[in-house]
Structure 1
Amino acid sequence: MMTHRTLLTVWFVACFSLLRAEQVCVFTTTSDGKKQLEYTVSQSSRAKLSRHLMLTPSEGYQEMDGFGYAITYSACYNLMQMAPADRKAFLTRTYSRTEGYGVSYARISIGCSDFSSTEYSLCDKEGLENFRLHTDETKYVIPVLKEILAINPDLKIMAAPWTCPKWMKVKSLTNRVGYDSWTSGSLNPNHYDTYAEYFVLFVKAFAKEGIPIYAVTPQNEPLNRGNCASLYMPWEEEAAFVNKLAPAFAHAGIKTKIYCFDHNYNYDNIADQQDYPIKFFNALDPDMDGRDLVVGSAWHDYGGSVTELDDINSQAPDKEVIFTETSIGTWNDGRNLSARLLADMQNLVYNTVMRRSKAVMVWNFMLDLNRGPNLDGGCQTCYGAVDIDQNDYHTLSYNSHYYVMAHASLAAHPGARRIGASLSGGASDVAYVAFQNPDGSYGAVISNSGSTSIMMSMSATSNAVARFTLPAKSIVTVVLGGKEDEALLLGSTSIKPTKCLGCYKGTVDLKQLDDLSQNFIDNPADWHIAPDFFWYDDADASLTVLPVDGRYEVEIDKAARTLLAAPVADDLTDDGQGNIYVCGPAGSVGRVFYYPGAETLPENAFAMAEVKDGIYEYTFAIGEQLNDEAIDFAFYLKDDLSAKFSSKTTAPHCLVYDSKQGSTYFGLGKGLSGHADGHIYKRVSNVRLKEGSLWTAVVDVRNGLKDASVYIRKAHEIPTGLVPSFRNADGKEKGGMPVGVCYDLQGRRVANDKSKGIYIIRDNDSTRKIARR
């Protein structure tokens, strides 16, 4: 029997579920580039605004597979030239569902494309016993896909050939003579079975590498005879081939989907190829094994109108449609974000998804500034979704396609369903599309083509209302509900999210030698933890504070896997109080200098850690934070880099020290022989430091700026103070400030040390000891 108390409890729980606040995540990109996927998180309210987007989950449409980029050889070549830490951070930011934008689809070629290293198939010598993957796959495409899959195991991958092996080609079906060319030609019907088995071998070869192929098309752009690698395959021939391909997949136990066509809305203006997909579907063998694998059609937009999808959907309402390729380039001002951002969102997302497209992909993920590498005869004028500077393989320029795919991926997770939505309050410049995600959250991509900012709200079935700003000429993704972000804790301090997804920043009071608990470092081997600020303890996953007591700003980037810190203090004063910064030309998170030729910028500077009064340290790894072939960095007194230590403003005896090589490796520039005054440089070109070895730069200002000294030592060494002389930048011994020989802490030879400070020692049994001297 239900009592009054029971009824009251049920009523209270029901009301609480309706009234509780839900998380609201907002991502904003503006056409002027001032906001680039800027991230804010807040809690929902109950008050709607006059301009309100009402979502209607009961009005459901197609289930989404995802959004993504083409992972060509060229894209992978450029990615593989990046420093591994940079590449991992970039891919994590792009593909991770929890620490990035959740991009979930990729398109690759079967054999070569016009963005390969050369023209090839996977079986250039006649006979399938000669089938083998090319180095484009084994050295570039497969390693990159494995990295992405490690970040996002749910990534869907579709594949398409640009050409079959040349030995399978004939000039035409009416003239069945051999056709020894990568360009054009037709597939010899005598090889339909063989070519179907070629596809089977391809899918199995990638599966063996741990890479599942979700879908294929029989031919990229089957009506294009002119690409540098191409094969003419009109609907009659494609249907005849798929009558062999689908059974071959079924008999091999392959569940890979098959989409037909993969070409333009206007069928390249070929009269008898109009309605290509419909004619293709009608020509399929209704009784063949694997018929259920043939699911729909794929589309490009290099010709015709997207309204062609309306015609196809009306004739084949039970078939899927996906959008698989478009490009930006010199012809459409592809690097001009103000010209492309809103237009590309309209064309790629609103126009296709609102016409039942389950997936949207753009062409090259990444090209260099010269629009390559690519092949003669391929596109020489295309840009990537991201362009990378080939002079440093670090500097990235994000184009409209990157932002459009990222915004759509944030709104619609794989398995999301497009739902209805309606806007009240009159805003003709606003366009939108909405989704309900499998986790119960709601996502919408909303754009404002007008010249004024708009305050908006959005809600679905509950009383939870998301309120947000839609800037002029911008795209905004709003996600309402779903799993709330876990707070990051450092000791008892909660570190808050910043404007970058997966990034957190907070101010923490730290005390030297304190052990702090934390909840964000999952695999410490993958993280760059500022080694002068924190020591990670494997035993309890705590962080030991290394610098002197004070207030510090802590930055955590879960995508880049970095934990950085900087003192909250003023610039360095004449008496040696304040902060010291280290910087070189160019840089990224955790880097002093790695990329030659780039500009020294304040945002690339990092505060040194004051490990004891007047002693500042910065530890770097060769090959990660310091390029052994281009050493060039300095120490700065101000965070805007307007003043630095130099041979003229500090003590004349400024030591750059290596205990094993004396002063032969590092030097301190004096503005001569191309070495900037005050910059550390490499003295001997034929001496190489071990990749990954750790070195610490030390600045001693205990006696003020005028008596400062600078030296570099191995990270596991400490100066003993026993030697009353030192070598200056010219390698000559000078009397004066004792710096001394160094001992390796791994050998625990610290008994004679007379310097006060903090030293971390590991015994042979790996038990950590921290000693204060």
Structure 2
Amino acid sequence: MELKTVTAIIGIAWASVITTSAQKITMYSTTPTERWIEKKYSPDKSPVDQADIQVYTDSLLQDVIGFGGTFNELGWDALQCLSAEERDKVMASLFTENGTLFTLGRTPVGASDYAFGYYSYNDVKDDYTMRNFSIDRDRYILIPYIKEALKFRPDLKLWASPWTPPAWMKVNEHYSQKSSGIEGTDIGHNQLDPNRNVLGNVTGFKMQQGYLQAYALYFSKYIQAYRKNGVNIQMIMPQNEIAWTPCWPSCTWRPEDLAIFVTQYLGPQFEKDSIDTEIWVGTVNYPNPDYIRTFLKQKNAEKYVKGVGVQWTGMRALPTVHKEYPSYRYMQTENQCGNAENDWSALENTWKAVVHCFNNGVNSYMYWNMVLNETCKSAWDWAQNTLVIVDRNTRQVRYTDEYYLMKHLSRFVQPGSQMLRASDKENVLAFRNQDGKTVIVIYNPKEQEYSYNIKAGNKNFKVTLQAKSINTLVL
């Protein structure tokens, strides 16, 4: 071998050693008092006898679609008190790489509990042909909100679910299923006669052919109308919280009845109208896996259903249904909304839910309210948590602890990422992201700072995490 060839090979090898030793680990940290502090670490070349945390970089688990939040009327209303420039800053904080860089957006089909009030796209009783169908209200509220997000993230994947069908399609002919107020109170604004309350374990929809056909057509027209207005709904879940009867818009479905609607009416209607929007079963807020099992066992469910969405107590069914039905994709569809604590305790609760969900097979995780005003209240007087609070009186914008939690997760874990197996299943999540980097998210629950020995593949390093801190390491 010629001397110059040997010299070149040695040079390449030496350059490789220099590059490896010069590699840096970037860590971002957030505590209750400090936000998004960036530090650099160099990997330790000495072996670690006992790693506190081990990430198995060659053990790839489920693919990750990403994280997202929900569009609602009261959120858009809160943003209206800001100047266009300040409003853009808020939207950029949610949908650009300097913020949470959300991948997913959820929007209600008609009224949700964070709408101004009750409405549907067709309130004309027994209009089976949907002659009076109209999304005009959304053209002035929800669609502009969504388009502001699309301006920053054109590839945002959007999905939708109704809180209720039009009232005339329901057995009690009312938007709600319960006459009292929010849990444990007598607050309510729905004017529903208690004699017309619907029980939670029955179907609140009129299971008659005309109504089933009309409702399938309702979904088809919704998707087509949104597309004409520049918004592509890529996925539908036919009912929000199928097993709850609150005082706001709602409708319960037995799994057998929901399967009848999806497989005999909704799916065929989409085929007839050449609609490629995916249908998922959800959002399931029932902890017993038998609900999802029963639905998926029905004839043609597999033909039309592409995924499963779980919400709130529905997360408890994940360990079972994900193992029994591994071919479906799974989403946590609504982060538990709390009671407007908007503090570190809310972050801790959400972190536990995120860890549980990803360790049990979800591909995506949705936050609920992205933006609310200073009261954080719905039209039904439930004050809930949010990522961003806009004070309409002072026009000040506050980013809550949960906003930073979502940023620690979503900013670096985008479509094309995969989850990695990690030794700690309570305080660690790890991913190989879309750029091939290893992303480790660690929560230190201790009341004091703590140094962790970490082994990730062939890299060993020690990091000191602040007390009560959420941390993202990018290798």
Q: Quick one: which of 222, 234, 248 aligns to 1:228?
A: 248
**CA-CA distance at 1:14 after TM superposition:** 5.7
Of residues 243, 255, 271, the one that matches 2:276 is 255
Quote the residue 2:195 is aligned against. none
Letter of the structure 2 residue corresponding to residue 319 of structure 1: Y
**What's the secondary structure of 2:94's corresponding residue?**
helix
The CA deviation at 1:11 is 6.1
Distance 1:16 1:227, change over 3 A: farther
Which of 311, 314, 323 lines up with 1:314 in the alignment? 323
Tell me what 1:74 maps to.
74
Query: Which residue number in structure 2 is paired with residue 471 of structure 1?
Result: 466
CA–CA distance in structure 2, aligned partners of residues 70 and 64 of structure 1 = 19
- CA offsets, 1:18-51, max 9 Å, x none? 6524453322111xx22122334x4644536775
CA distance 1:87–1:432, shift in 2 (3 Å): same
Amino acid aligned to 1:76: W
Structure 2 partner of 1:340:
346
TM-superposed CA distance for 1:86, in Å, is 1.0
Deviations along 1:66-100, one digit per CA (max 9) or x if unpaired, are 11221111111112322111111122122212x32
Structure 1 counterpart of 2:119: 120
* SS of the residue 1:438 aligns to: coil
In the alignment, the residues of structure 2 paired with residue 253 and residue 217 of structure 1 have an alpha-carbon distance, to the nearest angstrom, of 18
Match in the other structure for 2:298: 283
- Cα drift, residue 199 of structure 1: 1.3
> Matches of residues 109-188 of structure 1 in structure 2 within 5 Å?
109-125=108-124, 126=127, 127-135=129-137, 137-169=138-170, 171=171, 179-184=172-177, 185-188=204-207
- In 2, the alpha carbon distance for the partners of 1:264 and 1:11 equals 61
Deviations 1:207-243 (A, max 9, x none): 2233222221110011223342112211011101111
Name the counterpart of 1:418: 419
1:57 aligns with 2:91: no
After the TM superposition, which residues 190-209 of structure 1 pair with which residues of structure 2 at under 5 Å, given as runs?
190=209, 191-209=211-229
Q: Identity of counterpart residues, as a percentage?
A: 26
Q: Do the aligned partners of 2:432 and 2:439 also contact (CA within 8 Å) in 1?
A: yes
Return the alpha-carbon distance in structure 2 between the equivalents of residues 17 and 309 of structure 1: 44
SS at match of 1:367: strand
SS at match of 2:332: strand
How far apart are residue 415 of structure 1 and its match? Answer: 2.0
Matched to 1:92, the amino acid is A
Aligned to 1:432: 428
Residues 343 and 165 of structure 1, relative CA distance in 2, 3 Å threshold: closer
Q: How does 1:544-583 map to 2 (within 5 A)?
A: none
Partner deviation per Cα, 1:320-340 (whole Å, 9 max, x = no partner): 22101133333xx72332x33
Contact 1:187 1:233 in 2 (8 A): no
Structure with the largest fraction of helix: 2
Greater relative contact order, per chain length (Cα 8 Å cut-off, separation 6+) = 2
Aligned positions of 1:599-638 closer than 5 A: none
Does 1:327 find its partner at 2:328? Answer: no
| 1:358-369 alignment, distance < 5 Å | 358-369=363-374
Cα shift at 1:450 = 0.8
Does the 8 A contact of 1:410 with 1:477 survive in 2?
no
Cα separation, 1, equivalents of 2:17 and 2:212 = 60
What TM-score, normalized to structure 1? 0.53
SS at match of 2:427: strand
Instruction: Report the counterpart of residue 360 of structure 2 in structure 1.
Output: 355
For residues 715-750 of structure 1, the C-alpha deviation after alignment (integer angstroms, 9 at most, x for no partner) is xxxxxxxxxxxxxxxxxxxxxxxxxxxxxxxxxxxx
Q: Is the 8 A contact 1:334 1:399 kept in 2?
A: no
Give the match for residue 657 of structure 1. Answer: none
Q: Contact (CA 8 Å) 1:300, 1:323: kept in 2 or not?
A: yes
- Verify the 8 A CA contact 2:444 2:470 in the aligned structure 1: yes
Query: What is the aligned-residue RMSD (CA, Å)?
Result: 2.7
Determine which structure has more spread, i.e. the larger CA radius of gyration.
1
5 Å-filtered alignment, 1:395-410, equals: 395-410=396-411
- Deviations 1:177-220 (Å, cap 9, x if unpaired)? xx431123314431323222221221222222332222211100
1:475 CA displacement: 0.3
2:346 is paired with a residue whose SS is: helix
Shift of 1:403: 2.4
Does the 8 Å contact 1:114/1:227 carry over to 2? no
Residue in 2 that maps onto 1:38: 37
CA-CA distance at 1:254 after TM superposition: 2.8
Higher strand proportion (structure 1 or 2): 1
Whole-angstrom distance in 1 between the partners of 2:338 and 2:444: 24
Gaps spanning 5+ residues in structure 2: where?
178-203
Give distance in 1, aligned partners of 2:157 and 2:3. 53
CA contact (8 A) 1:80 1:140 kept: no
- Would you say the 8 A contact 1:164–1:187 is kept in 2? no
Matching of residue 47 in structure 1 with residue 45 in structure 2: yes
Residue 333 of structure 2 aligns to a residue whose secondary structure is strand
Cα deviation digits, residues 276-300 of structure 1 (max 9, x gap):
11111111326xxxx5551222112
Contact 1:451 1:473 in 2 (8 A): yes
Say whether the 8 Å CA contact 2:58–2:457 is kept in structure 1. Answer: no
**Structure 2 matches for 1:716-727, cutoff 5 A?**
none
